[in-house]
Amino acid sequence: MRSFDYSEKWEKLLTPNIVALLTQIHEFRGKQSLFIEAKADALTRLVEIAKIQSTEASNKIEGIYTSDDRLKALVKDKTTPKTRNEREIAGYRDVLNTIHESHDHIPVRPNFILQFHRDLYKYEGYDIGGKYKAADNRIEEVDSHGNAIIRFEPVPAWETPEAVEKLCDEFNRALGKGTIDPLLLIPMFILDFLCIHPFNDGNGRMSRLLTLLCLYRAGFIVGKYISIEHLIEKTKESYYECLQDSSQGWHEGVNTYVPFVEYSLGVVVAAYRVFSSRVETLTTSGLSKPARIAKLIEDSYGEITKGQIMERCPDISQVTVQRTLAELLEKEDIIKIGGGRYTKYIWNRDKQ
Protein backbone atom coordinates (compact mmCIF):
# COMPACT_ATOMS: atom_id res chain seq x y z
CA MET A 1 0.00 0.00 0.00
CA ARG A 2 1.11 3.57 -0.74
CA SER A 3 2.61 5.15 2.38
CA PHE A 4 1.96 8.71 3.47
CA ASP A 5 4.83 10.67 4.96
CA TYR A 6 4.94 14.45 4.59
CA SER A 7 7.93 15.00 6.90
CA GLU A 8 10.41 15.49 4.04
CA LYS A 9 8.27 15.82 0.93
CA TRP A 10 7.07 19.31 1.88
CA GLU A 11 10.61 20.74 1.62
CA LYS A 12 10.63 19.97 -2.12
CA LEU A 13 7.67 22.33 -2.48
CA LEU A 14 9.60 25.42 -1.44
CA THR A 15 10.11 26.73 -4.96
CA PRO A 16 10.41 30.51 -5.44
CA ASN A 17 6.90 30.70 -6.89
CA ILE A 18 5.29 28.68 -4.08
CA VAL A 19 7.14 30.67 -1.41
CA ALA A 20 5.90 33.90 -3.02
CA LEU A 21 2.32 32.57 -2.99
CA LEU A 22 2.63 31.57 0.67
CA THR A 23 3.90 35.03 1.57
CA GLN A 24 1.00 36.72 -0.21
CA ILE A 25 -1.61 34.51 1.49
CA HIS A 26 -0.23 35.17 4.98
CA GLU A 27 -0.20 38.92 4.31
CA PHE A 28 -3.76 38.82 2.98
CA ARG A 29 -4.94 36.81 5.99
CA GLY A 30 -3.66 39.47 8.39
CA LYS A 31 -5.50 42.22 6.54
CA GLN A 32 -8.67 40.14 6.28
CA SER A 33 -8.73 39.42 10.02
CA LEU A 34 -8.55 43.12 10.84
CA PHE A 35 -11.42 43.93 8.50
CA ILE A 36 -13.62 41.08 9.73
CA GLU A 37 -13.29 42.32 13.29
CA ALA A 38 -14.23 45.87 12.31
CA LYS A 39 -16.89 45.22 9.66
CA ALA A 40 -18.44 41.85 10.49
CA ASP A 41 -22.00 43.03 9.77
CA ALA A 42 -21.08 44.34 6.33
CA LEU A 43 -19.87 40.89 5.28
CA THR A 44 -23.16 39.05 5.74
CA ARG A 45 -24.13 39.52 2.11
CA LEU A 46 -20.72 38.25 0.94
CA VAL A 47 -21.30 35.01 2.88
CA GLU A 48 -24.70 34.53 1.20
CA ILE A 49 -23.25 35.08 -2.27
CA ALA A 50 -20.32 32.74 -1.60
CA LYS A 51 -22.64 29.94 -0.44
CA ILE A 52 -24.69 30.17 -3.62
CA GLN A 53 -21.61 30.31 -5.86
CA SER A 54 -19.86 27.47 -4.02
CA THR A 55 -22.87 25.18 -4.17
CA GLU A 56 -23.43 25.94 -7.85
CA ALA A 57 -19.80 25.73 -8.97
CA SER A 58 -18.76 22.57 -7.13
CA ASN A 59 -21.76 20.70 -8.51
CA LYS A 60 -21.39 22.27 -11.96
CA ILE A 61 -17.88 20.83 -12.26
CA GLU A 62 -19.49 17.39 -11.96
CA GLY A 63 -22.24 18.21 -14.48
CA ILE A 64 -24.95 18.79 -11.85
CA TYR A 65 -27.18 21.75 -12.71
CA THR A 66 -30.46 23.48 -11.95
CA SER A 67 -31.91 26.91 -12.80
CA ASP A 68 -30.62 30.07 -11.10
CA ASP A 69 -33.90 30.63 -9.28
CA ARG A 70 -34.10 27.04 -8.06
CA LEU A 71 -30.46 27.13 -6.98
CA LYS A 72 -30.96 30.25 -4.85
CA ALA A 73 -34.11 28.81 -3.31
CA LEU A 74 -32.33 25.54 -2.50
CA VAL A 75 -29.30 27.23 -0.95
CA LYS A 76 -31.56 29.41 1.19
CA ASP A 77 -33.50 26.24 2.15
CA LYS A 78 -36.77 27.72 0.91
CA THR A 79 -37.82 24.82 -1.29
CA THR A 80 -37.74 21.03 -1.50
CA PRO A 81 -35.45 19.38 -4.08
CA LYS A 82 -37.44 17.92 -6.98
CA THR A 83 -34.85 16.16 -9.13
CA ARG A 84 -31.76 14.05 -8.55
CA ASN A 85 -29.56 17.04 -9.40
CA GLU A 86 -31.41 19.19 -6.89
CA ARG A 87 -31.13 16.50 -4.22
CA GLU A 88 -27.36 16.44 -4.65
CA ILE A 89 -27.23 20.25 -4.62
CA ALA A 90 -29.23 20.29 -1.37
CA GLY A 91 -26.84 17.75 0.14
CA TYR A 92 -23.84 19.89 -0.76
CA ARG A 93 -25.58 22.92 0.75
CA ASP A 94 -26.03 21.09 4.06
CA VAL A 95 -22.43 19.91 4.32
CA LEU A 96 -21.19 23.39 3.37
CA ASN A 97 -23.35 24.91 6.12
CA THR A 98 -21.98 22.39 8.62
CA ILE A 99 -18.42 23.38 7.75
CA HIS A 100 -19.23 27.10 7.97
CA GLU A 101 -20.85 26.74 11.37
CA SER A 102 -18.81 24.02 13.09
CA HIS A 103 -15.39 23.70 11.43
CA ASP A 104 -13.53 24.23 14.72
CA HIS A 105 -15.20 21.11 16.12
CA ILE A 106 -14.71 18.83 13.11
CA PRO A 107 -11.31 17.11 13.02
CA VAL A 108 -10.01 15.56 9.83
CA ARG A 109 -10.82 11.95 10.63
CA PRO A 110 -12.32 9.10 8.56
CA ASN A 111 -15.58 9.02 10.53
CA PHE A 112 -16.25 12.70 9.78
CA ILE A 113 -15.36 12.23 6.11
CA LEU A 114 -17.90 9.40 5.96
CA GLN A 115 -20.49 11.60 7.69
CA PHE A 116 -19.93 14.37 5.15
CA HIS A 117 -20.40 11.89 2.33
CA ARG A 118 -23.53 10.51 3.98
CA ASP A 119 -25.01 14.02 4.23
CA LEU A 120 -24.03 14.78 0.65
CA TYR A 121 -26.44 12.05 -0.46
CA LYS A 122 -29.00 12.16 2.35
CA TYR A 123 -31.80 13.31 0.05
CA GLU A 124 -31.34 10.35 -2.27
CA GLY A 125 -33.91 7.56 -2.16
CA TYR A 126 -31.24 4.86 -2.16
CA ASP A 127 -28.46 4.14 0.30
CA ILE A 128 -25.34 5.52 -1.41
CA GLY A 129 -23.86 7.97 1.08
CA GLY A 130 -21.39 7.38 3.87
CA LYS A 131 -19.87 4.21 2.43
CA TYR A 132 -16.52 3.58 0.83
CA LYS A 133 -16.51 2.16 -2.69
CA ALA A 134 -17.48 -1.49 -2.89
CA ALA A 135 -15.70 -2.07 -6.21
CA ASP A 136 -12.53 -0.75 -7.81
CA ASN A 137 -13.00 2.47 -9.75
CA ARG A 138 -11.04 4.20 -12.50
CA ILE A 139 -10.61 7.81 -13.48
CA GLU A 140 -11.27 7.97 -17.20
CA GLU A 141 -11.59 10.56 -19.94
CA VAL A 142 -13.01 10.31 -23.43
CA ASP A 143 -10.83 11.38 -26.36
CA SER A 144 -11.98 13.19 -29.50
CA HIS A 145 -12.85 9.86 -31.12
CA GLY A 146 -15.10 8.76 -28.27
CA ASN A 147 -12.61 6.27 -26.83
CA ALA A 148 -12.32 5.95 -23.04
CA ILE A 149 -8.78 6.48 -21.76
CA ILE A 150 -7.76 5.51 -18.23
CA ARG A 151 -6.14 8.55 -16.62
CA PHE A 152 -5.55 7.01 -13.21
CA GLU A 153 -6.08 3.75 -11.30
CA PRO A 154 -7.04 4.65 -7.70
CA VAL A 155 -6.45 2.52 -4.62
CA PRO A 156 -8.34 -0.82 -4.78
CA ALA A 157 -11.60 -0.99 -2.87
CA TRP A 158 -10.29 -3.46 -0.29
CA GLU A 159 -7.43 -1.13 0.65
CA THR A 160 -9.49 2.05 0.80
CA PRO A 161 -10.56 2.14 4.50
CA GLU A 162 -6.99 1.60 5.68
CA ALA A 163 -5.61 4.10 3.15
CA VAL A 164 -7.99 6.86 4.34
CA GLU A 165 -7.12 6.05 7.96
CA LYS A 166 -3.39 6.31 7.29
CA LEU A 167 -3.84 9.47 5.23
CA CYS A 168 -5.72 11.24 8.02
CA ASP A 169 -3.21 10.02 10.63
CA GLU A 170 -0.27 11.39 8.65
CA PHE A 171 -1.98 14.70 7.92
CA ASN A 172 -2.81 15.25 11.59
CA ARG A 173 0.64 14.12 12.71
CA ALA A 174 2.40 16.48 10.31
CA LEU A 175 0.05 19.33 11.21
CA GLY A 176 0.58 18.72 14.92
CA LYS A 177 4.36 19.05 14.64
CA GLY A 178 3.89 22.70 13.69
CA THR A 179 6.94 22.80 11.42
CA ILE A 180 5.09 22.59 8.09
CA ASP A 181 2.93 25.41 6.79
CA PRO A 182 -0.68 24.12 6.69
CA LEU A 183 -1.03 25.77 3.29
CA LEU A 184 1.42 23.18 1.95
CA LEU A 185 -0.04 20.23 3.80
CA ILE A 186 -3.65 20.85 2.78
CA PRO A 187 -3.22 20.47 -1.02
CA MET A 188 -0.90 17.49 -0.46
CA PHE A 189 -3.62 15.85 1.62
CA ILE A 190 -6.31 16.69 -0.96
CA LEU A 191 -4.24 15.27 -3.84
CA ASP A 192 -3.72 12.03 -1.91
CA PHE A 193 -7.42 11.89 -1.09
CA LEU A 194 -8.28 12.22 -4.79
CA CYS A 195 -5.74 9.55 -5.72
CA ILE A 196 -7.31 7.16 -3.20
CA HIS A 197 -10.72 8.07 -4.70
CA PRO A 198 -12.51 6.42 -1.78
CA PHE A 199 -16.12 6.68 -2.99
CA ASN A 200 -18.08 5.40 -5.94
CA ASP A 201 -19.37 8.94 -6.51
CA GLY A 202 -18.83 12.40 -5.04
CA ASN A 203 -15.03 12.34 -4.70
CA GLY A 204 -14.52 15.70 -6.40
CA ARG A 205 -17.15 17.50 -4.34
CA MET A 206 -15.87 15.88 -1.17
CA SER A 207 -12.33 17.06 -1.97
CA ARG A 208 -13.53 20.66 -2.27
CA LEU A 209 -15.52 20.46 0.96
CA LEU A 210 -12.49 19.00 2.74
CA THR A 211 -10.34 21.78 1.31
CA LEU A 212 -12.61 24.37 2.92
CA LEU A 213 -12.68 22.46 6.22
CA CYS A 214 -8.88 22.26 6.37
CA LEU A 215 -8.39 25.90 5.38
CA TYR A 216 -10.92 27.12 7.95
CA ARG A 217 -9.38 25.01 10.71
CA ALA A 218 -5.98 26.49 9.84
CA GLY A 219 -7.35 30.03 10.08
CA PHE A 220 -7.70 30.79 6.36
CA ILE A 221 -11.42 31.59 6.11
CA VAL A 222 -11.49 33.57 2.88
CA GLY A 223 -13.63 30.80 1.34
CA LYS A 224 -16.46 31.84 3.63
CA TYR A 225 -16.70 35.17 1.82
CA ILE A 226 -15.35 34.37 -1.65
CA SER A 227 -16.23 31.08 -3.32
CA ILE A 228 -13.09 29.00 -3.82
CA GLU A 229 -15.17 26.41 -5.69
CA HIS A 230 -16.28 29.14 -8.11
CA LEU A 231 -12.64 30.04 -8.83
CA ILE A 232 -11.81 26.36 -9.40
CA GLU A 233 -14.76 25.96 -11.76
CA LYS A 234 -13.58 28.96 -13.79
CA THR A 235 -10.12 27.37 -14.14
CA LYS A 236 -11.10 23.71 -14.18
CA GLU A 237 -8.94 22.85 -17.20
CA SER A 238 -5.85 23.95 -15.26
CA TYR A 239 -7.19 22.15 -12.20
CA TYR A 240 -7.43 18.83 -14.04
CA GLU A 241 -4.05 19.32 -15.74
CA CYS A 242 -2.27 19.98 -12.43
CA LEU A 243 -4.10 17.08 -10.78
CA GLN A 244 -2.95 14.75 -13.55
CA ASP A 245 0.62 16.06 -13.46
CA SER A 246 0.87 15.59 -9.70
CA SER A 247 -0.64 12.09 -9.72
CA GLN A 248 1.91 10.60 -12.12
CA GLY A 249 3.93 7.98 -10.21
CA TRP A 250 1.71 8.33 -7.14
CA HIS A 251 1.44 4.61 -6.41
CA GLU A 252 5.24 4.31 -6.44
CA GLY A 253 5.63 7.38 -4.21
CA VAL A 254 7.64 9.29 -6.83
CA ASN A 255 5.00 11.86 -7.83
CA THR A 256 5.60 15.59 -7.45
CA TYR A 257 3.05 17.65 -5.54
CA VAL A 258 4.35 20.92 -6.99
CA PRO A 259 1.80 21.46 -9.83
CA PHE A 260 -1.24 20.79 -7.65
CA VAL A 261 0.08 22.75 -4.67
CA GLU A 262 0.98 25.69 -6.90
CA TYR A 263 -2.47 25.67 -8.49
CA SER A 264 -4.25 25.39 -5.12
CA LEU A 265 -2.29 28.26 -3.58
CA GLY A 266 -2.96 30.35 -6.68
CA VAL A 267 -6.69 29.86 -6.17
CA VAL A 268 -6.44 30.96 -2.52
CA VAL A 269 -4.46 34.06 -3.53
CA ALA A 270 -7.10 34.86 -6.15
CA ALA A 271 -9.83 34.52 -3.50
CA TYR A 272 -8.04 36.94 -1.18
CA ARG A 273 -7.59 39.44 -4.02
CA VAL A 274 -11.29 39.32 -4.84
CA PHE A 275 -12.06 39.73 -1.15
CA SER A 276 -9.83 42.81 -0.94
CA SER A 277 -11.50 44.28 -4.01
CA ARG A 278 -14.97 43.78 -2.56
CA VAL A 279 -13.90 45.11 0.82
CA GLU A 280 -12.65 48.25 -0.91
CA THR A 281 -16.09 48.69 -2.47
CA LEU A 282 -17.82 48.07 0.87
CA THR A 283 -15.71 50.67 2.65
CA THR A 284 -15.69 53.43 0.05
CA SER A 285 -15.94 56.47 2.27
CA GLY A 286 -17.94 59.62 1.65
CA LEU A 287 -19.96 58.22 -1.26
CA SER A 288 -23.67 57.49 -1.44
CA LYS A 289 -24.77 54.07 -2.68
CA PRO A 290 -25.66 55.40 -6.19
CA ALA A 291 -22.28 57.17 -6.35
CA ARG A 292 -20.50 53.95 -5.37
CA ILE A 293 -22.28 52.08 -8.17
CA ALA A 294 -21.34 54.77 -10.69
CA LYS A 295 -17.70 54.71 -9.55
CA LEU A 296 -17.59 50.93 -9.79
CA ILE A 297 -18.79 51.03 -13.41
CA GLU A 298 -16.42 53.87 -14.28
CA ASP A 299 -13.44 52.07 -12.74
CA SER A 300 -14.26 48.77 -14.48
CA TYR A 301 -12.34 47.82 -17.58
CA GLY A 302 -14.88 46.93 -20.22
CA GLU A 303 -18.40 45.66 -19.55
CA ILE A 304 -20.07 44.83 -16.25
CA THR A 305 -23.41 43.13 -15.48
CA LYS A 306 -25.98 43.97 -12.84
CA GLY A 307 -25.12 40.69 -11.12
CA GLN A 308 -21.45 41.64 -10.94
CA ILE A 309 -22.36 45.03 -9.49
CA MET A 310 -24.41 43.33 -6.79
CA GLU A 311 -21.58 40.94 -6.00
CA ARG A 312 -19.17 43.84 -5.60
CA CYS A 313 -21.71 45.85 -3.59
CA PRO A 314 -23.40 43.21 -1.41
CA ASP A 315 -24.81 45.82 1.01
CA ILE A 316 -26.77 47.57 -1.77
CA SER A 317 -30.21 46.21 -2.62
CA GLN A 318 -31.23 45.07 -6.09
CA VAL A 319 -33.86 47.83 -6.19
CA THR A 320 -31.20 50.50 -5.58
CA VAL A 321 -28.89 49.01 -8.21
CA GLN A 322 -31.70 48.87 -10.76
CA ARG A 323 -32.81 52.43 -10.04
CA THR A 324 -29.24 53.74 -10.23
CA LEU A 325 -28.63 52.01 -13.56
CA ALA A 326 -31.81 53.59 -14.96
CA GLU A 327 -30.71 57.04 -13.78
CA LEU A 328 -27.21 56.64 -15.22
CA LEU A 329 -28.68 55.51 -18.54
CA GLU A 330 -31.03 58.50 -18.60
CA LYS A 331 -28.09 60.87 -18.01
CA GLU A 332 -26.10 58.95 -20.65
CA ASP A 333 -23.30 58.31 -18.14
CA ILE A 334 -23.37 54.62 -19.07
CA ILE A 335 -24.15 52.61 -22.20
CA LYS A 336 -26.38 49.54 -22.19
CA ILE A 337 -25.23 46.53 -24.22
CA GLY A 338 -27.48 43.60 -25.05
CA GLY A 339 -30.75 42.74 -23.36
CA GLY A 340 -32.47 40.41 -20.93
CA ARG A 341 -30.27 38.32 -18.64
CA TYR A 342 -27.26 39.09 -20.87
CA THR A 343 -27.49 42.87 -20.41
CA LYS A 344 -24.17 44.57 -19.70
CA TYR A 345 -23.14 48.14 -19.03
CA ILE A 346 -20.09 50.21 -19.87
CA TRP A 347 -19.06 53.70 -18.80
CA ASN A 348 -19.63 56.32 -21.48
CA ARG A 349 -16.11 57.72 -21.74
CA ASP A 350 -17.00 59.77 -24.83
CA LYS A 351 -19.06 62.04 -22.55
CA GLN A 352 -16.06 62.97 -20.42
Options 1.10.3290.10, 3.40.640.10, 1.10.287.610, 3.40.50.11030; CATH of 6-281:
1.10.3290.10
Mean pLDDT of the region 32-43? 71
Mean pLDDT of the region 220-242? 94
Mean pLDDT of the region 207-217? 97
Q: Are 246 and 257 in contact (CB under 8 A)?
A: yes
Report the C-alpha gap between 276 and 280 in whole angstroms.
6
Q: What global pTM score does this model have?
A: 0.84
Q: Are 226 and 277 in contact (CB under 8 A)?
A: no
Average pLDDT of the chain?
90
What pLDDT, on a 0 to 100 scale, did the predictor assign at position 97?
95
255-269 burial string, b = 16+ CB within 10 Å, else e?
A: bbbbbbbbbbbbbbb
Percent of the chain with pLDDT over 90: 66
Mean pLDDT of the region 240-265? 95
Q: Is 139 helix (H, G, I), strand (E, B) or coil?
A: strand
What pLDDT, on a 0 to 100 scale, did the predictor assign at position 162?
96
Report the C-alpha gap between 316 and 45 in whole angstroms.
9
Number of CB atoms found within 10 A of residue 288's CB: 11
Nearest to 294 by CA among 277, 279, 313: 313
Residue 150 or residue 156, greater confidence: 156
Beta bridge pairs of residue 262: none
Nearest to 246 by CA among 233, 232, 261: 261
Beta strands in 40-143 (DSSP E): 139-142
Amino acid of residue 259: P
25 Ramachandran zone, left/alpha/beta (phi>0; psi -120 to 50): alpha
Q: Are 98 and 106 in contact (CB under 8 A)?
A: yes
Beta bridge pairs of residue 346: 335
CA distances from 52 to 65, 165, 183, 277 (A): 13, 32, 25, 19
CATH fold match for the domains 6-281 and 286-351: no
Yes or no: domain 286-351 corresponds to CATH 1.10.443.10: no
What pLDDT, on a 0 to 100 scale, did the predictor assign at position 292?
86
Q: Is 216 helix (H, G, I), strand (E, B) or coil?
A: helix
What pLDDT, on a 0 to 100 scale, did the predictor assign at position 40?
65
Task: Dump pLDDT digits (tens) for 300-332.
Answer: 778 999 988 887 787 788 899 999 999 999 999
Task: Dump pLDDT digits (tens) for 64-88.
Answer: 989 988 998 999 888 899 999 999 9
Mean pLDDT of the region 329-352? 87
Number of CB atoms found within 10 A of residue 73's CB: 16
Mean pLDDT of the region 12-25? 96
Domain boundaries, the chain: 6-281, 286-351
Most confidently predicted of 272-281, 294-303, 306-315, 334-343: 334-343
> How many helices (H) does the chain have, and how many strands (E)?
15, 4
What pLDDT, on a 0 to 100 scale, did the predictor assign at position 286?
63
